[in-house]
Amino acid sequence: MKLLVCIKQVPDLESRFKPNTEGSWFNEADLAWRMNEYDEYAVEQAVQLREQLGDSAELTVLSIGPDRVVEAIKKTLAMGADNAVHIQDPAAATKDPWQIASIIAAYAKDKGFDLIFTGMQSQDRGSAQVGVTIAELLGYSCATTLVGFAFDNGTVTAKRELEGGIKGVVKLKTPALVTCQLGLNIPRYPTLPNIMKAKRKEITALAVADLLTVEPLARTASFHSPAKKGGGIVLEGDVDNLVDQLIGILKDKTAVLR
């Protein structure tokens, strides 16, 4: 069985974001990068399935982006993926979800993947589109927002998370694509021996130009901070001082301290 998991590298979201010179996305200088949180769950689920299936299965990881994404790819190899594809694209951030999905579908279309895993959304772009669009382009059945996954005999039993904590249970036959939600599993930390083993695993580099054939369907006209609203107070400075200030406010504004 052939498995594919798609991962995106995103900036540390506690960073300060400033617009780039075109005002279309953030300036990437000085940011720290890591794997999209949702994709960690996708990788973990794919690795668990790879373990369940044994050596008859092969798990490939794919990421589109500049050279830095190789760091995130290496982590997935240390988590247990067999090999990886890096689609080299320094301008990935300026592509719309339709183009990203089209590139992945162009790569995957003649590879015969039985099951594809993606995150439900990326934390920086947050479109929740790429996974479903890949499935549509490949003609795969697709279920989104998984908080439960089981595979048996060519059939996936998936639990979709709905509003209010209700779940919807669905069954789908391979070839299929699933998008993974937070809490689907507990993603593992790579161990040192596995990090060493991962160094021998193959990462194939492909040029994006060979896979991209479509124009964008949407354009980012501007990237900016939210308009500041609400007259909230911001307290900063020495911690002891902050404690006293906050207690003063609690006394004045709330009934908590009588």
Partner 1 sequence: MKTLLVGEYREGTLLDSTYELFGFAAQLGADTAMLLVGSDGQLPAYGGTLYLADAAVCGEYNPDLHKKLVLEAVQKENPDYIVFVHSSYGWDLAPRVAAALKAAQVSEVIAITPGGFEVGCCNAKMRRTVKPSSAKAVLTIQAGAFPVLKPGGTPQVQRLAAEGSAALEFIGYEPAEPKDVDLGRAEVIVTAGRGVGKKDNVAVIAALAKAMGGELGASRPVVDAEWVSHSHQVGTTGQTVSPKLYVACGVSGAIQHLAGMKKSDFIIAINKDRDAPIGEVADVLVVADVMQFVPKLTAKLAS
Ligand X SMILES: Nc1ncnc2c1ncn2[C@@H]1O[C@H](COP(=O)(O)O)[C@@H](O)[C@H]1O
Q: From CA 181, how far away is CA 42, in angstroms rounded?
A: 8
Residue 248 in contact with partner 1, rule: CB under 8 A: no
DSSP state for residue 238 in the 8-state scheme = -
Q: Verify binding: residue 70, ligand X, rule CB under 6 A.
A: no
List the single partner that 229 binds among ligand FAD, ligand X, partner 1, none, CB under 5 to 8 Å by kind. partner 1
**252 contacts ligand FAD (rule: CB under 6 A):** no
Residue 233 interacts, among partner 1, ligand FAD, ligand X, none and using kind-specific CB cut-offs from 5 to 8 Å, with partner 1
Per-residue binder mask for ligand X (CB under 6 A), 94-133, x = binder = ---x--x-----------------xx-xx--xxxxxxx--
Q: Which is nearer to ligand X, 42 or 142 (CB)?
A: 42
Give the C-alpha separation, 242 to 163, whole Å: 38
Per CB under 8 A, does 186 bind partner 1? yes
Residues 198-237, one symbol each (x = binds ligand X by CB under 6 A, - = not), give ----------------------------------------
Q: Smallest distance, Å, CB 161 to ligand FAD?
A: 6
- Residue 205, binding choice from ligand X, ligand FAD, partner 1, none, Cβ under 5 to 8 Å by partner class: none
> 115 with 60: CB under 8 angstroms?
no
Interface with partner 1, residue 83, by CB under 8 A = no
Distance between CA 18 and CA 127 in Å, rounded? 20
In angstroms, rounded to a whole number, what is the distance separating the alpha carbons of residues 189 and 80? Answer: 10
Distance CA 64, CA 90 (A): 9
Among 78, 76, 87, 68, which residue's Cα sits nearest to residue 39? 76
Cα distance from N-terminal residue to C-terminal residue, the chain: 65
- Binding partner of 103, given ligand FAD, ligand X, partner 1, none, CB within 5-8 angstroms per partner class: none
DSSP, residue by residue, 48-111: HHHHHHGGG-EEEEEEEESTTHHHHHHHHHHHT--EEEEEE-TTGGGS-HHHHHHHHHHHHTTT
Q: Taking CB under 8 A as the rule, does residue 144 contact partner 1?
A: yes
- Taking CB under 6 A as the rule, which mask of x and - marks residues 1-40 in contact with ligand FAD? -------------x--------------------------
Report the nearest approach of ligand X to the CB of residue 116 (Å): 9
Residue with structure tokens 């993947």?
A: 113
Q: How far apart are CA 31 and CA 92, in angstroms?
A: 16
Give the angle 34-35-37 at the CA atoms, nearest 5°. 115
Give yes or no for residue 36 binding ligand X (CB under 6 A).
Answer: yes
- Is residue 215 involved in binding ligand FAD (CB under 6 A)? no
Q: Which residue ranges make up the site for ligand FAD (CB under 6 A)? A: 14, 182
Contacts to ligand X by CB under 6 A: 6-8, 36, 38-39, 42, 62-65, 92, 97, 100, 118-119, 121-122, 125-131
